Structure 1
Amino acid sequence: MVMFAIIPYLALSAALDPLAPIIAGQLHMSAQTMSLGSGLGNAAYALGTVLAVQLGLHLPQRRMLLAYAALLVVGSVLTAVAQNAAMFIAGHTVQGLATSMLLIAAVPPLAIGYPRERLHTTVMIMNMGIFGAVALGPFIGGLQADADAWRPLFWIVTAVAVLALLLVVLTFEDAPPANPDAPRDLPAIALAAAGSLAAFLGASELTSHSFLDVEVIAPLLGGLALIAGLIVYQYRAAQPLLMVREMLTSAIPVAGVVTALFAAAASVSATALTASVLSETYGPVRVGLLFLPELGGAVIAAGVFGLVIARRSLHYLPLVGMILLAAGILVFRLGMPDSQPLALLGSALTGLALGATVAPALFVAGFSLPSASLPRVFAVVELLRAVAAFMIAPIFAHFAATVTGDLNEGTNIALWIGLGLALAGAALGVTIYALSGARPQTPDLDTFLAGQRPAWYSPPLLSRLRRSHDLDDLDVALPVPESVD
């Protein structure tokens, strides 16, 4: 049920690039309007992570899951039958909103609703399904683009959404609201909505404007400021909707969030930009085939994730993933503009990296807090990851196309930046562990799944550094003893 609910939008997001000109031509949209539709879908995805937490507190959770799945079907049908730009954009926006709400409502119960021995298989299939869909997207999009058609793919997505709805109905067990006495945090919803909408609309305007044009820079910076304001507001709130304070004051969750964000930002340069350069030389099917090893890498990484989920080595997996991501970006850089063997190797390394980084980092953060807080942990991480991944993509694409006037040279520069982001993310994660006194531990999954306490101990953020500073202050405050003859 979870896989069928989440995969359609994620696969479409990865498959849209080669299909965008065909869709825009048949629905009489400009490239800017098509970009605007993608931006609205991504903004809705970011908003849905926060909105689902609020609705889950006050409304029966399983009934809301039924509503989200039905909403996904409605959005999928709208896009498949779209006759104009308005129908397509509305349907894609509804798809983004429903997918993130399903993610927050369905994934945490899936992760903690089974006995410990099932968790290995659960996370393996979930990781394989999510990142496998993303990896398969370019190939599927290339096949449809080569056939000069797009509606068959969208009808297949609709059929998958219908299957998700059917499984929600067949597995329905009514459940009460999580906490009906919790306050309704309307300011948090408003900040998430306004911030996501402004930031993604600003980024989508890069299709027809320069970065410093007011149509781009004003909403982009304003939206990021509102999202930052949401984080600060939730950190200081007495009864916050999201677990920002608990996450940002604890070392291991911060390291996990930082790793996920840097991986999302860096991977953009390794996939979308490289695909755009390769499409100058090869057709859409060939480009899709060059990225097909990414699927194999994602499957292998999912298997490794399932093996280490209950072991101390789980802490090391995101670090290994960041190193593999850096290696993949470097291989892409060396293979530009048209080396097929290096493109195949780079895509395989990138698939391994994404499967070993984002989901493991999510669980590293989640295991550091009580299991009951998992939906709110996932919401924070997915909100920030959506901003890092979906908003960075058009910025990198614009940079590559305009920084030198030559797409190949601009992409090479962007790849170097992506390589720096991957290495910086790995270094920051290790530094946070070291300066906080955090250490890899074997998760106590029995007590975590029982809701008794976190799976391991996470020390306060930078506690070792602060302890050293406090000792220095203590030395200054102590009186110096007089010498004794």
Structure 2
Amino acid sequence: MRDTGISKGALGLATSLATAGYAFGALLAGDIGLRFHRRPLFALFTASAAVAWTLTVSGMGPAAFAIGLVLAGLSTGLLLVVALPPCFQHFPASRLHITAAFVNIALFGGIAAGPLMGGLAASGLGWRTMFTAFAAIAALACVLSRIVLPHEEPPEPGLTFDWRVVVLSAGATILPFGAVAFLPATGFVSPLFLVPLAIGLASFAAIFIVEDRAREPLIKVRQMLHTLPIIGTIIASFAGGVFLTLLTLSLQRLTTIWGWSPGEAGLAFWPLLPGALLASVLIYFVFRTRYLPIMILAGMSVTAVAGGLLMAAQGPDQVSFVTIGAALLGFGAGSTVSPALFLAAFSVPSNLLGRVFAFIELVRSVGDFLIGPVLAQFAVLIATGDTITTKSVDITLGIAVAMGAATLLFVAIAFLTSYRRLPTPKLEQWLDGEDEVAIESPPVLRGLDETD
């Protein structure tokens, strides 16, 4: 705010719209990645990310900073779905466990490094240095894409553009996240929050109806209404939301209540990164086995334990609870969201991965990035003044832990009622067969059939 001249409200709105851009970009890439060549798309989106981060550090004023931030979010969402499916489709089944481990490092290893990077930036590295590094990484990826990525034909060049789902997805992301941006200034009962939130969630619900009735839908709703895709989507959404809530409120406790500087608070959460890396190592060993669901359930349990430790940290003299809780939180997050994404993908043909990842990322983003800010603002609402208190933080952390425990119970019951024994994924037939799946997944509604 000091360096760019942007106001607190405008910064909050730009940040929320950047998150909305990420979610919308993931869905949009599900369509674009099917109809156009991936190599030029990857180069285009990495170039747009480099331009976006360059805009944020250009010193051209608050408008350029906000535009750059939103464009960076959009570019990231587009890149995710364009880049991720080929990582699985273009390698033999014998190497997929390596792919899964590195994808997990890229997804949640990067997220777990966020507080550490923020702490370094606040301690003297500087936000402009960090954003410049992001621009350089994106530019390097753009150059490497022209050298490394092969030329290949698009999967479905004749696919009709599904403009209905794109419009609905825009409403389902921009409106709710825009509403959350107004939440600190307006409160929960303001029309500026309730109206766009309601319209956005209605748009989100309408996606399922419209796509189920479409002749050439981007999202295969019928295939997503099976046990494993539902389990995977629910875990990815709620586990991520619980993670962000625990992390956000714990950082606020350190800075607002304990009086730590932002640099000290960010650096205190360095164990998130080794925790996430340990989860990636575990994925390497269990990805091709029947124990991936066990890892996910264990990750949810560890996340709940991490929440309990973070709640127990009542003062700076108990910072060891924060250190251990952060390590467990990193492991729990790395053991749930990405593995759940893989588990959902196992029950659909591999040639539909782009569509599956696009839809799950849309749903996950709406869940992840709405739960965290709403619960963080709830902690302020129940506090005695205008800032959070120890009691309000503990209550809200307890709500997040209870949400994670309820998710764990639900998916455990859903899995146990669907399978008598843990299924081993058949990765070879999944990659080689056009309509083959790695794990058969029963529909959630009796009589549901893809051929209907």
Aligned partner of 2:333 in structure 1 is 354
| Conservation of the 8 A alpha-carbon contact between 1:251 and 1:438 | no
Equivalent-residue separation in structure 1 for 2:392 and 2:420 (angstroms): 40
Q: TM-score, normalised by structure 1?
A: 0.88
Aligned to 2:283: 305
User: Which residue in 2 is equivalent to 1:62?
Assistant: 39
Amino acid at match of 1:266: V
Q: How far apart in 2 are the matches of 1:361 and 1:457?
A: 16
1:42-191, aligned counterparts within 5 Å?
Answer: 42-147=19-124, 149-191=126-168
Aligned-residue offset at 1:425: 0.9
1:408 lines up with 2:386 in the alignment? no
AA partner of residue 38 (structure 2): Q
Q: Is the 8 A contact 1:251 1:462 kept in 2?
A: no
User: Deviation digits for residues 431-468 of structure 1, max 9, x if unmatched?
Assistant: 2123334642111111112134101111122659x9xx
Report the number of matched residues: 441
Instruction: Indicate yes or no: 2:295 matched with 1:317.
Output: yes
Structure 1 residue matching 2:2: 3-state secondary structure: helix
Three-state SS of the structure 2 residue aligned to 1:81 is coil
Q: Identity across aligned pairs (percent)? A: 32
Q: Which amino acid aligns with 1:208?
A: A
Do the aligned partners of 1:443 and 1:456 also contact (CA within 8 Å) in 2?
A: yes
Amino acid at match of 1:389: D
Establish whether residue 340 from structure 1 lines up as the match of residue 322 from structure 2.
no
Q: Deviations over 1:257-303 (max 9, x none)?
A: 11111101211221011101111322223212221111111010000
Is residue 389 of structure 1 aligned with residue 346 of structure 2?
no
Mapped to 2, the partners of 1:456 and 1:450 lie a distance apart of: 14
Is there any run of 5+ residues in structure 2 with no aligned partner, and where?
A: none
On the 8 A contact 2:276/2:333 being kept in 1, the answer is: yes
Give the letter aligned to residue 382 of structure 1.
Answer: E
- Alignment-mate amino acid for residue 313 of structure 1: Y
Q: Distance in 1 between matches of 2:389 and 2:199?
A: 29
Cα pair 2:171 2:200 within 8 Å, conserved: yes
CA contact (8 A) 1:437 1:459 kept: no
Residue aligned with 2:441, SS: coil
Task: Report the counterpart of residue 200 of structure 2 in structure 1.
Answer: 223
Q: What is the match of residue 476 of structure 1? A: none
Select between 31-40 and 448-457 the one with higher mean Cα deviation.
Answer: 448-457
How far apart are 1:181 and its partner, in Å? 2.1
Q: Deviations over 1:305-328 (max 9, x none)?
A: 111110000121111111011111
Contact between 2:429 and 2:438, CA under 8 Å: does it hold in 1? yes
3-state SS, counterpart of residue 159 of structure 2: coil
SS for the counterpart of 1:398 is: helix
Could you tell me which of 407, 418, 425 is aligned with 2:400? 418
Report the Cα offset of residue 342 of structure 1.
0.2
Report what 2:428 is aligned to: 446
**Aligned equivalent of 1:256, options 223, 229, 232:** 232
The 3 A distance-change label for structure 1 pair 446 and 410 is same
The letter for the 1-side match of 2:213 is R
Deviates more, 1:116-125 or 1:99-108: 116-125
Question: Is the contact between residue 258 and residue 428 of structure 1 (CA under 8 Å) also seen in structure 2?
Answer: no
- CA distance in 2 between counterparts of 1:47 and 1:317 reads 30
Q: Name 1:480's counterpart in structure 2.
A: none
Deviation (angstroms), 1:346: 0.7
